[in-house]
Structure 1
Amino acid sequence: MPKTEKSERARKGVQTRERLLGAAIAEFKRGGIAAADVGAIVDAAGVAHATFFFHFPTKEHVLLELERREQERMAAELSHYYRRGHDVRATLAKAVEALEALERRLGARLFKDFLALHFSTTRPPSEEWTTHPVIVAVVEELQRAQQRGEIPGEVDVMLNGVSFLVGLYALLITMPGSREVRRPVIEEYLTTYLYGLRAV
């Protein structure tokens, strides 16, 4: 196959995948991943039914792709913020803000599915928690705070950073209501973790 024909096929494959991803996300927003109809997704994307499964073996694989993109976006936002002066509480609070912004982008139903995927026993195999971009961004910033003397040297910032985010995901999945209703609980959660980090 000539090189130009190959590159054209690859370009069309990427476009098809993007259409499917967009159609699947729209369908997930309407009724959640469990109720999502693959037939409706392929109709909206204008492709054959089998094309969905060529690009995404399961509906969960769509969420994994969305997760990868959103994790990279949030990590970039956090890293940009962390370059400015701030304290340890702001390090954790900014992670909360990034997740709240994600919830606004995805809508409440898809956001809960997105977070619940982290705890799913049917989650397709992927990388370890410690390679997720958001976790890496938060843990590296806690490590810098430790180097500055804001967190005692004996505190395991990797364990605390990972458990903070995993616990936050679980909290946001299970807590009903608006941000205003959740705010006191989130503030208490932040205080609890600051105590565990013994941040000055």
Structure 2
Amino acid sequence: MALVGRPSLRQTRRLQTRERLLGAAIAEFKRSGLAAADVGAIVSAAGVAHGTFFFHFRTKEHVLLELERREEERIAKQLTRFARSPRDLESILHESVRLVMGLERRLGALLFKDFLALHFSQTRPPAEAVDHHPVVVAVAQEIEHARTLGTVDPDADPMNCAVFFLLGLYALLTTTHEWPGQAAMLDEYLARTLRSICAE
């Protein structure tokens, strides 16, 4: 008797092929950047036919979206775990910045920049709703928690505040990459964000 919900051999192979393509694409993006990445090199490294790439990912940007989804889920879990201990909103936003910046070590400078720039790209595939972005949701939950404690302005919308904070952070990290004053700018950005949403 077959187990209910168990993937078929074909589905398992398809998932394995997708994972090989994703890994090969990420390696190529790290080397060349998204724009210069060669789909031929990706399929060659994955050991599949050229058309197989487009069966799994419509464009190179779709690969980056998949990577974004996975990395956001990982960051959101780490942030939620961090927030389980009593923390003020300032330390939670600091941790958000630290976790996002940690991606550069994981992804490399070229891919990190492409990862951030995707949020502002005109060629980005149609986005899902904001609440499908786990980092936004995790930050919004912490802002809501601070609002219930009375430390955030009761009129502040937690989801909007989280979106403003993270988009501003991504824009700063994209445009000030390797600037000597980046750390000071990030500190000021964080301080101004807190002042804008905290209760008087």
TM-score range, shorter chain: over 0.9
Q: Does 1:42 align with 2:22?
A: no
Q: Name the residue aligned to 1:103.
A: 104
Q: For 1:126-153, what per-residue CA distance to the aligned partner results, in whole angstroms no more than 9, with x for missing partners?
A: 3122331000000011000110111121
What is aligned with 1:114?
Answer: 115
Aligned to 2:59: 58
d(CA) in 2 for partners of 1:34, 1:158: 32
After superposition, where does 1:77-156 map in structure 2 within 5 Å?
77-156=78-157
- Cα RMSD, aligned residues only: 1.7
Write the distance in 2 (CA, Å) between the matches of 1:83 and 1:15: 35
The CA deviation string for residues 150-192 of structure 1, in whole angstroms up to 9 with x for no partner, is: 11212233222110100101110111217x7421110000000
Q: Which 4+ residue blocks in structure 1 deviate beyond 4 angstroms?
A: none
Q: Kindly indicate whether the alpha-carbon contact (under 8 Å) linking 2:154 and 2:199 is maintained by their aligned counterparts in 1.
A: no
> Could you tell which deviates more after superposition, 108-117 or 150-159?
150-159
Q: Separation in 2 of the partners of 1:7 and 1:130?
A: 32
2: distance between equivalents of 1:130 and 1:163?
Answer: 14
Q: Which amino acid aligns with 2:76?
A: A
* Equivalent runs, 1:152-191 vs 2, <5 Å: 152-177=153-178, 181-191=181-191
Q: Which string of whole-angstrom CA distances, capped at 9 and with x for unpartnered residues, describes residues 91-116 of structure 1?
A: 21111011011111001110111111
Distance in 2 (alpha carbons) for counterparts of 1:176 and 1:115:
11
Q: Which residue of 1 aligns with 2:20?
A: 19
Segment drifting more, 102-111 vs 148-157: 148-157
Distance 2:85 2:172 in 1: 28
Deviation at 1:48, TM superposition (A): 0.5
2:196 counterpart residue number: 196
- TM-score of the superposed pair, with normalisation by structure 2: 0.93
What is the percent sequence identity of the aligned residues? 56
Mapped contact 1:157–1:197 kept (Cα < 8 A): no
Q: List alignment gaps of at least 5 residues for structure 1.
A: none
Larger helix percent: 1
Superposition TM-score, scaled by structure 1 size: 0.93
The residue identity in structure 2 corresponding to 1:31 is S
Between the aligned partners of 2:43 and 2:124, the Cα distance in structure 1 is 23
What is the letter of the counterpart of residue 188 of structure 1? E
Please give the secondary structure, in 1, of the residue aligned with 2:154.
Answer: coil
